[in-house]
Amino acid sequence: MQLIDTPSMNRSDSNQPKPNFPRKQRIARVKWGLLKGLVIVIGVITIGVVALNNRNQSTAPVPLPPITTLEQGGEQGATIDSNALKQFAEHHQLPEIPDLTGKAAEDIHNALTVFAAHPSKAESWGQLGRVFQSHRYPIKALACYTQAAAHDPADHQWAYYMGRIHADRFEIDQAIEAYERAATLEQDYPSTFLALGNLYLQQGNPQKANASFRRFATLRPQSSHGYLRLGQIAFDAQDFETAIELLKKSIAHAPEDFRAHNLLGQAYQQLGQTGKARQHLAIVNRLNRRDELSKQIVYNDPLYQKMLESNNTDAALTDRMQAAKATDQVQLAIELAEELCRRDPNDAVRQHNLALAFKKGKQFPQSLACVERAVQLDTELIPAQITKAQLLLIHRKNGEALDLLEQIVTTDPDSFDGHYNRGAALVLSKQYEAAVESFEQAVRLQEDSARAHVALGEALSQVGRKKDANEAYRRALELDPLNSRARQRLTPTH
């Protein structure tokens, strides 16, 4: 069979004659081609515009919703639109923002305002983490600190904060890992090594704990905590002489830490030095209800303090004020107490707390003005009345103070402070017999008060009852062997 070539079978044949279409048909074919090309171009442009719009929508900044004020029950409180806040958080891939009101809402909004201005800065993430942590949202805080560390991996504070959160959640291994990372990044921050030492002890690793506490003691030699922990390690290893040496250093820096006295007494007991053992164990009986010292390292820790300052609720400010007073940060205590009074000037307890802060700072006129305000607001607030009486005595207004204290012990016959301060006012008025009665009542109400026994002894001496006075001083020394007033006044017997 002979094959016939066709145009479709051999399009490359240049000798093949081309079809001859009519002119109209050729024009129609061109128009159709142009139309198809136009449709394709329009489609491409449309797809591009849609994609660009979608991209712009996804990258367009979602504004931070404003904070608004609502009035509930006659009181105003701040709040933030929860739906708008959720969109903001989702856009920036933040942890879910809790629905907060009042000062907590203000705290979170302030942190988010900073974040919105600088979302790629480590400090923006870190401050948001501090706010979450101070308001007790540890998991959200942990997520923010992780982002802060990703933006600035050389800054030790993010690892430190993560370690603290893990430690608070009893996640010992994760806490140690975070603190070790913080210690590697910053080898001169004392609190990291104190925290690591405590965690190593919990983990059962006294060797590493010892090294960490020694580093802490080197960085902060005036702190009792390093020596206390090193003494504990030596005691557990039955190296009692080393324990005694270290615990003495701890007590030198913190004379009222009952934990050091307790361990020191036990160490002396193990070495058969029973007299010294009894002396320190007696101090424990007086101090074991007053362990404020363990808080001091927390509130003196700059990073932890910075985190606490991210919480401006009334409860947080009150805690910080009390801590500032306990650690002799008097001006800070006054400032915090003043802020609390500004928020509610008609709260008697707040006015009394401000009076106590002024009193601790020896600003007695200001203290008296505040305590008088507190007593006006609440006439049954006995602690404020006691403080007022003390301030009246300082201002040498003995008669007014005595009248007030008479009212107090009449209203509350079981008030130790009432009877004790009444006795002090009677001594200043040289009414020694009546003072003896007041101090005897104070001792009956609080038999383990060394200061009450000393005051009783001094009043007994004024009325010529030297033997009874000596007995009161001896009892004071049994309760507090280091009480210098009792030791100085105790008359030797022949």
Q: Is 76 helix (H, G, I), strand (E, B) or coil?
A: strand
Q: Where in the chain is the domain with CATH 1.25.40.10?
A: 91-295, 312-489
Claim: this prediction has a pTM higher than 0.85: no
DSSP state of 414: T
Mean pLDDT by 10 residues, the chain (494 residues): 43 51 64 70 68 52 78 64 86 86 88 92 95 93 96 97 95 96 96 96 95 96 93 96 96 87 93 89 69 45 85 90 84 95 95 95 95 95 95 93 94 94 94 96 92 95 94 89 85 65
Q: What pLDDT is attached to residue 345?
A: 94
What element of type H or E holds 69? strand 67-72
Nearest to 260 by CA among 288, 238, 239: 288
Q: What pLDDT is attached to residue 70?
A: 65
How far is residue 257's CA from residue 263's CA, in Å, rounded to a whole number? 11
Nearest to 361 by CA among 331, 336, 391, 383: 331
Q: What pLDDT is attached to residue 5?
A: 43
Helix locations, 301-379, DSSP H: 302-308, 314-326, 330-343, 348-360, 364-377
Q: What pLDDT is attached to residue 51?
A: 57
Q: What pLDDT is attached to residue 401?
A: 94
Residues paired with residue 70 on neighbouring β-strands, in sequence order: 77
Q: What pLDDT is attached to residue 176?
A: 97
Q: Cβ contacts of residue 62 below 8 Å, gap of 6+?
A: 87, 88, 91, 92
For residues 316 and 322, is the Cβ–Cβ distance under 8 A? Answer: no
Residues paired with residue 72 on neighbouring β-strands, in sequence order: 75
How far is residue 421's CA from residue 118's CA, in Å, rounded to a whole number? 57
Q: What pLDDT is attached to residue 412?
A: 93
Superfamily name with CATH number, domain 91-295: Tetratricopeptide repeat domain (1.25.40.10)
Calculate the CA 391 to chain-centre distance: 31
How far is residue 216's CA from residue 206's CA, in Å, rounded to a whole number? 15
Block residue for tokens 């060797």? 207
* Domain 312-489 architecture: Alpha Horseshoe (1.25)
